[in-house]
Amino acid sequence: MKGNGKLVLVFGIAFATGCTNLPRSRDLGNPNVAGITLAQQVCSNCHGVTGASVSPNIPNLAAQQPPYIAAQLKLFRSQGRRDPAGFEYMWGISRTLTDKQIDELATYYAAQTLPTQQPDSSVASIEAGKPIFNEGIADKQVPPCGSCHGPHGRGNGNFPRIGGQHADYIVKQLGVFQRTDQRPEGAVMKTVAHKLTPSDIAGVAAYLQAMPIE
Amino acid sequence: MCAPIPMWRFLSKAMAFVMLLSVLPQWAQALPAFARQTGQNCVACHAGGQFPELTPYGRMFKMTGYTIGRNVIPLSVMGVVSDSSVNNTSKSPDPRADFQKNNSLIFATGSVFAAGRLTDNIGMFLQWTYDNYGSQSADGKFHGHSNADNMDVRYADRFVSADHDFLYGVSVNNNPSVSDPWNTAAAWMQYVPVPSPTSSRFIDGATPYPGLAAGGNIAGITAYAFWDKLLYIEVGNYRTAKGALSPFSAGIAKDSKTKLQGNNPYGRIALCHEWGPHNAMVGATAMNAKVYDDPLDTSDARSVHRFRDVGIDAQYQYLLDPHSITLQLAYVRETHRYPYFLAGQPVQDVDGNPLPDTNAIDKTRTFRIKSSYIYDAKYGVSLAFFNLTGTTNSAAYDPTPTSGNISGSPAARGLTPEIFWMPVQYLRVGLQYTIYNKYNGAGHNYDGAGRNARDNNSLFFYLWAAY
């Protein structure tokens, strides 16, 4: 057998043996692929293997509240969440996920450890955000973030963990809540964020990113 | 084949069309095959939506064998409508031949793709391209022609856990570096299709790009690995596309087919790092190729051109919505050893004066740097600089007006600024202007007929759509 024939043979063997590979599949249309496999083979490309993403374009998922992750994936799947982060990246990825896979993904990320994030904002900005998180802004009727998102921003059920989240992601999402109806499930945040100034948002986002993970 | 129509009339209709598209919902899922497979927008895999430059995720999609997503009908189409305008067409004895279709809007080229996942480990990217001006008969009439374009079928697997990330794959492809995930690779840095009519001979796509001499429509197998998103290594070997792999050169005329002698090794290494919204790569590429001088006669084993290409490249991306910034740099040094019957040959100039005998070896150095900025995956601007230097060789002496070269030097240097707009993600409208400082070895009178490099400055408008 000469050169090119060998190439075809090698690829033919690879093809014959490569039809299904459930432990390391990237098939989003196969309900038999486990959630942890999808997390490692697909989601990890943006969110990191352990849910700690490198790019601030992409939210950290490590140590996130399982009900929140499951709810968001179902909203992406139903195209009920329509912010750019949703339709550009997540609608397609989630469109054929089963409820079982979604629950497995939520469990997987909740079990991961989120390392304390390096702050990339000024100390002054971080300090400006601290009282907003802890005490809110009384004269703007902005409640303290911690009242729903829990101490250290750990989250609580459908209220997501926000402690240790990328500041850029927080800023963009507060903008979505404030100016659009693209996240109807977060309507309560529209009221909360309504009177926040860009400076308030930058401060609280900087504080949340720098928050020690406990 | 489309007849050219007045540009103003087309532009008015085209602008109305793209304005209509621009008000459509931005989540419209009208996407080429890969996007239909993942369900994601183009911007997920292409930096700022700028096809074909890949994001870190897009590179992983490619390296994992195009297998992310679900099985869909793996077909896409692409078409390019363009208009080229050369700065000065007066210094030519035959402007109609030297600047065909100048200032005419033409349907230049179109492609059909079969692209997507086949199994959990195997995927493909197969492109078949139609050139609306592929050939010209004696009466001057153009005829369309189609042939195999970039083709890549690959097997990939990935072992990933919290502690390690190891990805490997095997690619069978027809163009060295088409398997590469970075767009500073020879097969990818030049990507806007160049129309065949001669008015497009000076547009940016036709300027010197750091490339590999073997070119495309050959057949190779490469193996690659990517460790911890840090180190990428690929090695492979290329041969003539024949036998079972003859589809890799299908449609190419016999006298234009690249015929390689024996094995022609290819290697690639790259170091990568991602931090925050930034990612960077520095890499190197090398390839040796033995190309028969006459593809119709390979009987003489000594009748080969021996090429050695060694290149370095680097890329930086800043990707944080809505901003995308990219810097690309590539440099290739090429050594070309001519077959015995082309070396040491006497040459005379147009007046019959002897020139130095032809060289046995030529060396060229091609450098290109490009920066681009895209806002909101819609509005883009880029600037590229290119510089080719190389050995002066009497073999390159050619007194033909416009295309000629009386210095024997291949040197060329220039800039290309570009603005582009993507009203919807599957349509790109661009305007480039290529400014020459040197062409065929000289800034002034490079062809001996009084043509200067700046006379070749070219405006290029294109409308590029894919579905």
Strand partners, A156: A159
Q: Would you tell me which residues 86-145 of chain A have a C-beta closer than 8 angstroms to some C-beta of chain B?
A: 87-89, 91-93, 95-96, 120
CB–CB of B221 and A54 under 8 A?
no
Residue of B nearest to A9 (CA): B244
CA A195 → CA A147, B19, B269, B333, distances in Å? 18, 35, 52, 60
Strand partners, B268: B234, B285
Instruction: Quickly state the pLDDT bin for B18 (edges 50, 70, 90).
Output: very low
Q: Assign a CATH topology to domain A22-110.
A: Cytochrome Bc1 Complex; Chain D, domain 2 (1.10.760)
Q: Do domains A22-110 and A123-210 have the same CATH topology?
A: yes
ipTM for the predicted complex: 0.91
CB–CB of B221 and A5 under 8 A?
no
- pLDDT the model gives residue A11: 63
A:B CB pairs within 8 Å? 140
In chain A, what percentage of residues exceed pLDDT 70? 92
* Per-residue pLDDT tens over the stretch A140-194: 889 999 999 998 999 999 999 999 999 999 999 999 999 889 998 888 898 888 8
Mean of per-residue pLDDT scores for chain A: 91
Facing A20 at nearest CB: one of B40, B120, B277: B120
pLDDT above 80 (res B28) = no
Q: What is the rounded CA–CA span in Å between residue A9 and residue A15?
A: 10
Minimal CA separation from B336 to chain A, in Å: 26
CA B394 → CA A194, B359, B447, distances in Å? 74, 7, 14
Question: Is position B16 within any domain?
Answer: no
CB–CB of A87 and B119 under 8 A?
no
* Per-residue pLDDT tens over the stretch A90-111: 999 999 999 999 999 999 999 9
In chain A, what percentage of residues exceed pLDDT 90? 72
- pLDDT the model gives residue B118: 95
Minimal CA separation from A150 to chain B, in Å: 27
Minimal CA separation from A139 to chain B, in Å: 33
The reply to whether A18 touches chain B by the CB within 8 Å rule is yes
Best of A1, A4, A95, A180 to disrupt the B interface by mutation (most B CBs within 10 Å)? A4
pLDDT above 80 (res A213) = no
* Per-residue pLDDT tens over the stretch B248-283: 999 999 999 999 999 999 999 999 999 999 999 999
Structural domain boundaries, residue B69: 47-466
**Which value, in Å, is the radius of gyration of the alpha carbons in chain B?**
22
- pLDDT the model gives residue B79: 94
**Set of chain A residues whose Cβ sits within 8 Å of the Cβ of B153:** 11
- pLDDT the model gives residue B426: 87
Q: What is the rounded CA–CA span in Å between residue A93 and residue B70?
A: 9
CA B151 → CA B17, B76, B219, B237, B347, distances in Å? 32, 14, 9, 15, 41
Average pLDDT over residues B2-13: 45
Instruction: Quickly state the pLDDT bin for B452 (edges 50, 70, 90).
Output: very high
Minimal CA separation from B242 to chain A, in Å: 7
Number of residues that this document lists for chain B: 467
**Set of chain B residues whose Cβ sits within 8 Å of the Cβ of A2:** 243
Facing A4 at nearest CB: one of B39, B239, B319: B239
pLDDT above 60 (res B133) = yes
**Set of chain B residues whose Cβ sits within 8 Å of the Cβ of A19:** 119-120
The number of folded domains in chain B is: 1
Facing A55 at nearest CB: one of B60, B161, B277: B277
- pLDDT the model gives residue A7: 63
Minimal CA separation from B56 to chain A, in Å: 8
Minimal CA separation from B284 to chain A, in Å: 24
The reply to whether A1 touches chain B by the CB within 8 Å rule is no
**Set of chain A residues whose Cβ sits within 8 Å of the Cβ of B122:** 14-15, 18
Going through B321-452 in order, the beta strands assigned E by DSSP cover: 323-337, 347-348, 354-355, 361-375, 379-390, 412-424, 427-438
pLDDT above 60 (res B12) = no
Q: Which residue has the higher pLDDT, B389 or B31?
A: B389
Nearest in space to B238 (alpha carbons), one of B322, B145, B176? B176
Question: Is position B227 within any domain?
Answer: yes
Instruction: Quickly state the pLDDT bin for B39 (edges 50, 70, 90).
Output: confident
pLDDT above 70 (res B25) = no
Listing DSSP states for B150-175 in one string gives EEEEEEEEEEE-SS-EEEEEEEEESS
Which helix (H) or strand (E) segment holds residue B136: the answer is strand B122-136
**Set of chain A residues whose Cβ sits within 8 Å of the Cβ of B35:** 92
Paired tokens of A183:
């996240």
Question: Is position B62 within any domain?
Answer: yes
Average pLDDT over residues B162-179: 96
- pLDDT the model gives residue B29: 33
Q: What is the rounded CA–CA span in Å between residue B392 and residue B441?
A: 8
Judged by DSSP in three states, B76 sits in strand
Q: What is the rounded CA–CA span in Å between residue B266 and residue B287?
A: 4
- pLDDT the model gives residue B1: 37
**Set of chain B residues whose Cβ sits within 8 Å of the Cβ of A91:** 27, 39-40
Q: Assign a CATH topology to domain A123-210.
A: Cytochrome Bc1 Complex; Chain D, domain 2 (1.10.760)
Question: Is position B6 within any domain?
Answer: no
Q: Give me the residue label for tokens 């051109």.
A: B305
- pLDDT the model gives residue B7: 47
CB–CB of A92 and B69 under 8 A?
yes
Which helix (H) or strand (E) segment holds residue B22: the answer is helix B7-22
**Set of chain B residues whose Cβ sits within 8 Å of the Cβ of A168:** 277, 320
- Kindly report the CATH number assigned to the domain that includes residue B87: 2.40.160.10
pTM: 0.91
Residue of A nearest to B35 (CA): A92
Minimal CA separation from B96 to chain A, in Å: 44
Chain-centroid distance of CA B101 in Å reads 22
* Per-residue pLDDT tens over the stretch B186-240: 999 998 889 999 999 999 999 999 999 999 999 999 999 999 999 999 999 999 9
The domains of chain A are located at 22-110, 123-210
Q: What is the rounded CA–CA span in Å between residue A169 and residue A177?
A: 12
pLDDT above 50 (res B68) = yes
